[in-house]
Amino acid sequence: MNEPLVCAASTGLTAQAEDGERSAGASVGAVCGPTADHAAAAPAIPSVTPEPAITSERDLRFMALAQAAAEQARAAGEVPVGAVLVRGDEVIASGFNHPIGAHDPSAHAEMVALRAAAQSLENYRLPGCELYVTLEPCLMCAGAIMHARIARVVFGARDPKTGACGSVVDAFANPQLNHHTMVSGGVLEAECGAALRSFFAERRRASREARAAARGEAVEAVAPGEAGETAADNAANSATNTATPSSSEPPPTKPL
């Protein structure tokens, strides 16, 4: 068994979850072990430790690349989450969130980057690689990260509804697992969180405008003439005006 590594994550600004965002169905299940007593006795790996006061320039640089990937998701109308996978100082692959466009519930940014990196390196194991992602990974992505043997995960904003690096569950803190990934959170957290909030604010604004436009079209369809008159009223008025002579016209004369 590999020597466990401490998962480090910071607290702070988080992105709000809405339609199309990632969702984790449940918390991590029971600890695997020969007996319940053994499982209960195994101490959990500390998952939250104080973040270093200074984030390395290297982490900032690769998180900026993940942010650029997130903008590709935004351009496609998807929740803006991006990821890059690196080995040393080399970017192996990148990915952005697009489950709606791909009709694929697993098309999260991390999964896309992992698949591309595995194809590039021709190996489903990616030891020594690091994954940078703008939003805390969900439970699905955490499982794939462990299967790929990723050495370290660095994320930006926390996800209070589906985060699997300590926000909701801590998939990396189980000492019974045969691989332990080091996790660092909060890198460019404010910027990553702001990008997500602005996306959802814009989507809410567009939804309000669409509803307002639909109401306006309905009003125009109901009142094509004067304000407050229905189409039936307009037709009735027209018929009445045709059948009733004007008061300025002389009365009809009777034939002699």
Catalytic site positions: 110
CB 99 within 8 A of CB 109: no
Torsional sign, CA 43, 166, 7, 20: positive
**CA distance readout (Å), 141 to 97, 113, 172, 193:** 12, 11, 11, 19
| DSSP E strand boundaries for the chain | 82-87, 90-96, 129-135, 152-157, 182-185
* 20, two tokens: 């199309």
Instruction: Count CA atoms within 13 Å of residue 157 on its CB side.
Output: 25
* Displacement of CA 222 from its chain's centroid (Å): 40
CB 131 within 8 A of CB 118: no
d(CA 172, CA 185): 13
* CA geometry: angle 113, 117, 118, nearest 5 deg: 120
Strands lying side by side in the sheet with 182-185: 90-96, 82-87, 129-135, 152-157, 182-185
